[in-house]
Structure 1
Amino acid sequence: QAQTTSSMSEAKQLTSTCNAELALDVRHPGPLFLPVRTKKRYFIPPAVGLKGKKEENLEAKARAAGIVFRQQYLERSINIACSAGVFDPYIPPEGDARLSALSKEGLKQRTEQIRQSAASQLAIRKIKEHDSQFSTKTFAEQAQEIFVEAHNSLTHFNKEKLHSLVTERCYPEMTRGNRYKTIRWRFVESLEPPRVVHVRCPDMVTKGNLYGQVTVRMHSKQTLAIYDRFGRLMLGSEEQPKDVLEYLVIERHLVNPYGRWRLHGKIVPSWAPPKDPIIKTVAIPGPDLKPGEEFDALNYEVPKPEAVQWNK
């Protein structure tokens, strides 16, 4: 039996060596490389020229192939130092005028004022529990000082001081689009003494996380001039002051012992007049100069556009 097993192993070795020699033989008619499928393609990119045709649902196609798409989470950062907006915003009466209580509109306005003042008194009590020095008589002047300091910091691009005077919600609204512009703002005088017209004390996230929001009516005279990056005037004037009626919202995180009253936003009534249009800078093309010629700006006249008849 031992001799038979040894003879069988020797025969196998001879056959394997013969097969190897045949595979290495160039004259062998068999293929040298065999195609082997190593990986299955679950996703095939779309063919060229399918633009304009109906797109397939790639997510359903991937699920059918056994691939699960990862869920996309739209995360947004949360800041508890200030609220996300103005809670129960104050609605100024149209024209900011007092109507006669004998008329139907005046009676409706008077009842709305009484209802709003009752809710404001409850909010003032909550604010005084956390801020004992709060008073509606002195707070209006304090809010006006915060407003003036915040705009002065904006004109001088003092970011550190501006962050201490405005909330994290108001900061991007004030600084958006001012990177390459020059702002000249000045507070001339106050036409009417500022007064508190609306007080709210909402909570956010949890029940005890209180925020104090005070709306202050301010009627003042201001000057504003905005220059573009080329130094050309875009909006307003530095010499001509304008009367401005504003409703400022001042907020404070009452639970935070180190919290401060900061500018949170403005309430723009629906009956407010539209803003002045922005003067845009337009490049005027010059003459086509030949090599060796110089441009004389004094002798060059700007070509006027030809009149075009527009038909409806």
Structure 2
Amino acid sequence: MAMPMRRTLGALHRTICSSLKNVETSLDVQHPIPLYLPVRTKKRYFIPPAVGLKGKRQENTEAKARAAGIVFRQQYFERPINIACTAGIFDPYIPPEGDARLSTLSKEGLKQRTEQIRQSAASQLAIRKIKEHDSVFTTKDFAEKAQEIFIEAHHALTQFNKEKLHSLVTERCYPEMTRGNRYKTIRWRFVESLEPPRVVHARCPDMVSKGNLYGQVTVRMHSKQTLAIYDRFGRLMLGSEEQPKDVLEYLVIERHLINPYGRWRLHGKIVPSWAPAKDPIIKTLMIPGPELKPGEEFDALNYEVPKPEAVQWYK
């Protein structure tokens, strides 16, 4: 009984010794590149949301960051203010309907006359304030000067001279005149003045602080003009270069009075409610031409526009 036990223990001893030798030989192997194991040392409390994940609801990242101790900088949405001109027309002039004086015997004529007296009294006070800052200002000469500003501004618009246009119109009027004209060609011409321009309204409001005065003068101008607008392909969209039209306009000219280097500039235009509607834009379509071979030229005089083929529609 003792002999089998000794044999078993000897076999077990030899097995353990061989396994230990194998372990020692494996530990003696030297690796040419050191091995690094990533160890997480700090837990991330705020994980930014992934970009482009669809179907996930949007979580309040600001609340999560505040809970993690991260302070978000407050964002201020500020609107820029330009003190060189006002943002609109103060107490705009209301032209009488049809630009004619009604009889004072009627109710409408009496109301119109009362409104004219009220507006003229306020205009006289405004003109007196304007003359305190602009000693050369007179209503007779100013109307002609306003007409010259109007003509020069439209010539600069047709040539798209930005520097000259900024010196003739205010920062409020500039985007209104240039909006949508980037790829268009404008042809404008002042033919003649049907009636001499005259000052019909004046206001002298202040903005931001009491004493920061702005002068706004409304000038009535009745003239004959031509206007033609072409699109970027040279096709006529509006108006005509040869046919002049009678135009009645009420222009608002403004100046920053307390600025010694200020000048009178075009600020806006008053369109009465009874004014006729503008002409619609002429819509043009492209007609496909013939397929030309290399070296051939297109003869527009002898080319006939193909008529569309008749199509039978079935229900």
Q: Same fold (TM over 0.5)?
A: yes
Question: What is the CA–CA distance in structure 2 between the aligned matches of 1:92 and 1:171, rounded to whole Å?
Answer: 24
CA deviations 1:238-291 (Å, max 9, x no partner) are 1101111111000111111222111111111222222112224433345678x9
Q: 1:227 to 1:44 in 2, by over 3 A?
A: same
Question: Larger Rg: 1 or 2?
Answer: 2
Task: Output the TM-score relative to the length of structure 2.
Answer: 0.77
Which residue in the other structure is 1:45 paired with?
49
Q: Look up the match of 2:161.
A: 158
Q: Report the equivalent of 1:10.
A: none
| Deviation (angstroms), 1:185 | 0.8
Structure 1 residue aligned with 2:7: none
Q: How far 1:305 moved relative to its partner?
A: 8.3
Worse overlay, 240-249 or 186-195: 186-195
Q: Distance in 1 between matches of 2:64 and 2:95?
A: 55
> Under a length normalisation based on structure 1, what TM-score does the superposition of the two structures give?
0.78
1:91 paired with 2:65, answer: no
Deviations 1:26-85 (A, max 9, x none): 99xxx983642534141452694417xx65444445444444433332233332222222
Trace 1:250-269 onto structure 2 (pairs within 5 A): 250-269=253-272
Query: Which amino acid is 1:109 matched to?
Result: Q
Question: Which residue is equivalent to 2:180?
Answer: 177
Segments of structure 2 that go 5 or more residues without pairing to the other structure are 1-23, 30-34
Where does residue 241 of structure 2 map in the other structure?
Answer: 238
Query: Amino acid of the residue matched to residue 50 of structure 1?
Result: G
Q: 1:39 to 1:123 in 2, by over 3 A?
A: same
2:278 aligned counterpart, secondary structure: coil
1:301 correspondence with 2:309: no
Q: Aligned partners of 2:113, 2:196: CA distance in 1, in Å?
A: 22
Unpaired stretches in structure 1, ≥5 consecutive residues? 1-21
Aligned residue for 1:14? none
- Amino acid aligned to 2:208: V
Residues 1:71 and 2:87 are matched in the alignment: no
- Offset at 1:25? 4.4
Structure 1 residue aligned with 2:135, among 121, 132, 136? 132
The 1:37–1:218 alpha-carbon spacing in structure 2 relative to 1, beyond 3 Å, is same
The CA distance in 2 between the partners of 1:178 and 1:170, in whole Å, is: 14
Q: Find the counterpart in structure 1 of residue 110 from structure 2.
A: 107
Query: Which of 198, 203, 206 does residue 200 from structure 1 map onto?
Result: 203
Amino acid at match of 2:199: V
Equivalences, count: 282
Secondary structure at the counterpart of residue 155 of structure 2:
helix
Cα-to-partner distance string for 1:109-135 (whole Å, 9 max, x where unaligned) = 111111111111111110010111111
What letter matches 2:78 in structure 1?
E
Moved more, 76-85 or 236-245: 76-85
Distance (whole Å) between structure 2 residues aligned to residue 85 and residue 212 of structure 1: 12
Distance change >3 Å, CA 72–CA 269, structure 1 → 2: farther
Secondary structure, counterpart of 2:271 in structure 1: coil
After TM superposition, the structure 1 stretch with the greater mean CA deviation from structure 2, 184-193 or 272-281, is 272-281
Measure the CA separation in 2 of the matches of 1:254 and 1:218.
24
